[in-house]
Amino acid sequence: MSSDPVALRTEETPCLLFPELFAQGGGLQRSVQERASLYAERWDRVLLLTTGFTPNWHSVPVALKERGSLHPRVKVRNFFAHSDWMQQLGVPPLEAYAVVGEDEVTTRAQKLKGREPFRLADFRPGERFPFRFRYFDTEGRPFLTTFVSGDTKQESRGVDAAGNRVDWYRVLADWVDAKIADVPHPVLFSLKRGSNDPVLLKSQKAYRKIASLHNCHYKDPDDRSSGIRPSFRTLFDHADQVDQIVCQTQQQLTELREDVPGMPLSAIRYPGRDVGQEPVEKDPSLVLLVSQLIERKRIDHAIRAFPLVLESVPEARLEIYGQGPLKDKLQGLIDELGVGESVTLMGYSLTVGEAQARAACVLLTSTFEGSPRVVTESMSRGTAAVSYDIRYGPRDLITHGVDGLLVERHEPAALAAAIVSLVSDPDRVVEMGRRAGEIVERHPASAFEEAWCELLMAPPRKPDVLSRARNLKKWVRSSRPVRRLRRISTALPAPYGTSREKRSRTRTSA
């Protein structure tokens, strides 16, 4: 085998768009790092462009690279650290901390590590994230006020000092375009809904545009008729402006083709991976759950199930790995149910893989997923998963009763029955774990990696007939002659013109 170094591609530049990096993150954080690293192994230049505020934006990539989670050649850039736009800002004046008529609002200054404060973040009582950010110019005068959307801390709209609307996504897109303007064929990826899709769509310099889906797109994951989640709407409504939208399961691909016809869709399944770990002895009484401690993960279901498990298997133990805002609430539930000797919150751990390999099974209790990495990773380590049968992923990965268990009823009693059926039979634990490990051959990592590389190298998408028709309609409606005719029509008296009342009825009926 040749020892010559692999020639890195220079024809394209992978440019990944993401809000912010964390040293201790969940599945999506790890997917972003993994994707960037995959490209860095084969491409000469990889950019990871973060658009959200992170005080220690520089130290996090350093830590990720030191432990091998992020390839050393991935270049990370942050809007608040590297944009020319920030040069317009000054330090917020002291008198701006208090806002007249808003005594209940708490205000905190924000700054990058080692620098002066550059904005004020305003919090309502009891809320985790700010609802508003205020920027000031170099003279200390109000410059821009931005607002967040939903339960996030990502800015979505803004107004200047005169009350004029400012397109915040355009500000971010201009910075992205400045970063990718001089690189060969920049392929821009949006990796998170809501905050990054508008920036992807507004970019003028991207050679190709690709969006990755990592979650269920329905408002109610159990009800397809519930409609599309608002955070997906921006992307889906402008799908003709992107080259590819990639989901992770065949089920989601099939449903998307029905829900939003005409979108440029494909699916790339997350693979099993040979972790190179020596076989370990199974602990048939150990049950594991690895997750962020947030509402949609339904960690409380696992805790509530465990008193029922202990009735049949008194020696059973549940270890919960992860961190999040519900830590204290979940510990309170453990204490309330009196299962503190059997259920333990383990916190965040970089060595959770060792526990996954030893466990009898790993639980998944989420409301929805895109495709749960924890299931794939546990199966790769020879451990069965006991999972709620949710959108999306478990049914694509688990063969019920062979290499894991799917729980149809999403409730603690049903979860407990499934756990007991497994951990009460040590031989079944071993055999089911052995079959789970076959996922490495069924869904090889090589196929996953080649699919993402081929996607990056593909030529720009040619608009189809439907896309061209939509673009023509948008152009006609926004053209100067049509706007002029519309104004003339409005000014004419009836029956020649179109009255305001008639226009209103027309819009309502439409």
The pLDDT of residue 476 is: 58
Angle at 404 between CA 296 and CA 360, to 5 degrees: 90
Q: Are residues 422 and 359 in the same domain?
A: yes
| Residue 112 located in a structural domain | yes
| Residue 40 located in a structural domain | no
Q: Are residues 439 and 482 in the same domain?
A: no
Q: Are residues 396 and 483 in the same domain?
A: no
The pLDDT of residue 474 is: 53
Sheet with 186-190, edge to edge strand ranges: 74-78, 46-50, 13-18, 186-190, 208-212, 244-247, 265-267
Domain count, the chain: 3
| Residue 203 located in a structural domain | no
The pLDDT of residue 501 is: 45
| Residue 6 located in a structural domain | no
Distance (Å, whole) CA 76 – CA 57: 9
Q: Are residues 486 and 409 in the same domain?
A: no
Sheet with 132-136, edge to edge strand ranges: 106-110, 119-123, 132-136, 142-148, 155-160, 165-166
Residue where a domain stops, chosen among 167, 194, 209: 167
Q: Are residues 358 and 482 in the same domain?
A: no
- Record the pTM: 0.87
Q: Which of 287, 282, 333 has its CA nearest to residue 310?
A: 287
Query: CA of 446: how far to CAs of 16, 151, 206, 420, 456, in Å?
Result: 21, 37, 27, 36, 16
Residue 495, Cβ neighbours under 10 Å: how many?
Answer: 8
pLDDT per residue rounded down to tens, the chain (510 residues): 444 567 999 999 999 999 999 998 889 999 999 999 999 999 999 999 999 998 988 899 999 999 999 999 999 999 999 999 999 999 999 999 999 999 999 999 999 988 999 999 999 999 989 999 999 999 999 999 999 987 677 899 999 999 999 999 999 999 999 999 999 999 999 999 988 999 999 999 999 999 999 999 999 999 999 999 999 999 999 999 999 999 999 999 999 999 999 999 999 999 998 887 777 899 999 999 999 999 999 999 999 999 999 999 999 999 999 999 999 999 999 999 999 999 999 999 989 999 999 999 999 999 999 999 999 999 999 999 999 999 999 999 999 999 999 999 999 999 999 999 999 999 999 999 999 999 999 999 999 999 999 999 999 987 655 555 555 555 555 566 666 676 666 666 655 444 444 444 443 333
Q: Are 20 and 53 in contact (CB under 8 A)?
A: yes
Structural domain containing residue 122: 88-167
| Residue 100 located in a structural domain | yes
Q: Are residues 380 and 437 in the same domain?
A: yes
Q: Are 340 and 334 in contact (CB under 8 A)?
A: yes
Q: Are residues 320 and 434 in the same domain?
A: yes
Q: Are residues 332 and 370 in the same domain?
A: yes
Residue where a domain stops, chosen among 145, 167, 189: 167
Residue where a domain stops, chosen among 167, 183, 199: 167
Assign residue 400 the CATH number of its domain. Answer: 3.40.50.2000
Residue 9's contacts (CB-CB under 8 Å, 6 or more residues apart) are: 42, 43, 44, 457
| Residue 261 located in a structural domain | no
| Residue 260 located in a structural domain | no
The pLDDT of residue 377 is: 95
Distance (Å, whole) CA 121 – CA 134: 7
What does the block give as tokens for 189? 């990826």
| Residue 470 located in a structural domain | yes
Beta strands in 124-174 (DSSP E): 132-136, 142-148, 155-160, 165-166
Distance (Å, whole) CA 308 – CA 415: 10
| Residue 209 backbone phi and psi in degrees, to 5 | -125, 130
Q: Are residues 437 and 476 in the same domain?
A: no
Q: Are residues 294 and 420 in the same domain?
A: yes
Q: Are residues 482 and 415 in the same domain?
A: no
What does the block give as tokens for 371? 């495709």
Q: Are residues 363 and 483 in the same domain?
A: no
